[in-house]
Amino acid sequence: MIIEGNIPARGWARIRIESGLIQSVEVVGPTADSQPFVAPGLIDIQVNGFAGVDFSEPELTIERALAVLPRIWKTGVTSFCPTLVTNTHEGLKRNFRILAAAFRLYPQFARSVPCFHLEGPYISPGGALGAHNAQNVRWPDWGEFQELQEAAEGHIGIVTLAPELPGAMDFIRRLCASGVLVAVGHTDASAEQIHQAVEAGARLSTHLGNGCPEMMHRHLSPLWAEIAMPELNASIICDGFHLPPDLVNVILLAKTIGRCILITDAVSPATMPPGRYRTLNTEVELLPNNKVVAAGGKMLAGSAASLNHVVEVFLRYTGVPLVDALAAATTNPARLLGADGLCSCIAEGQPANIFMFQPECPNLGITGVYLGGEKVFCARP
């Protein structure tokens, strides 16, 4: 199979695909005006839910987990990390078992899911709690985590935690030794504790600038420490609500584009009509402007954005070249996860996870999506 399109910053190319892999890439001319672009499929490392499905919901079934696939593919995402949030131990085990079964039994789910993300329950019960359930927040427990990893059949690849909790530093070291990516988030840590977490092996800030207290010390805060430390990659929710443009640009200047990772932090109302929805922890309201808040209040409760929209907002906020904005949603998360099956660039030997789009159209104007060389979405029959 041959796909033709503009590769950002490279030109018009012919891409040959065989056996699920990119076999060759031939750039045959300059960028062709009005013709589609082609890029690696988008990678979202934090998806709490999507299109009416909450991965933490007690009603989760294999069928409901699978139902997310066609809806998320059409947004240009070929790889995503289902994310379970703070819950009871039994609730977490139950849903990890369901996700693991979907991974084991359905090849398309396995090809789309590099790993699972556990956000909590080892997070701050204080000002950084966000929409998590304080009753289920607890200290890091290695034995408990091993049970969760067993339920997940070894597929928990990211853990977000608060490094100030008792036992957190040893827990971070154990996670890193087991091959799990450690992220700091929903934390009331001191700057010193952020430094200690990095020394222990943490390499990611989960939704930097969110999941932190509304009021912090103007100098000695975890936010400044996380921004300053080059070892920490920064995932950011650039949906037009979670971060103002100035902070997005400060993060970009400090981290450089190579350590910025765009995420949605999507919850079940994503792509759904405005109204009230129930997530695991609370009732939320999707407003007509696509903002998700806790019902009856103003507190953000996740996002209803798709990753193609996040890329578009990031372009608008920062003015970076298209190739850089795409890297923050493809190359960078692929490098950070280091998982097989992720397409990090359009190059020979890469998995043929690709999306095609018209960048001058809203939300990148996605026209086609390929997963392992198989077309899983087409804007036109």
- Residue 268: name the closest of 55, 34, 21 by CA: 55
User: 3-class DSSP state for residue 47?
Assistant: strand
Distance CA 310, CA 326 (A): 10
What letter does residue 36 receive in the DSSP assignment?
Answer: P
* 170: annotated active-site residue: no
What letter does residue 364 receive in the DSSP assignment?
Answer: G
Distance CA 159, CA 118 (A): 5
Distance CA 340, CA 126 (A): 37
What letter does residue 7 receive in the DSSP assignment?
Answer: E
Distance CA 87, CA 187 (A): 17
Q: Are 48 and 18 in contact (CB under 8 A)?
A: no
Q: Which entry of 44, 54, 265, 324 is annotated as an active-site residue?
A: 265
- Residue 300: name the closest of 223, 210, 226 by CA: 210
Kindly state the helix (H) or strand (E) to which residue 100 belongs, with its residue range.
Answer: helix 89-105
Distance CA 15, CA 1 (A): 8
| Identity at 81, one-letter amino acid code | C
Q: Are 227 and 191 in contact (CB under 8 A)?
A: no
Q: Are 287 and 223 in contact (CB under 8 A)?
A: no
- Show which residues are catalytic: 265
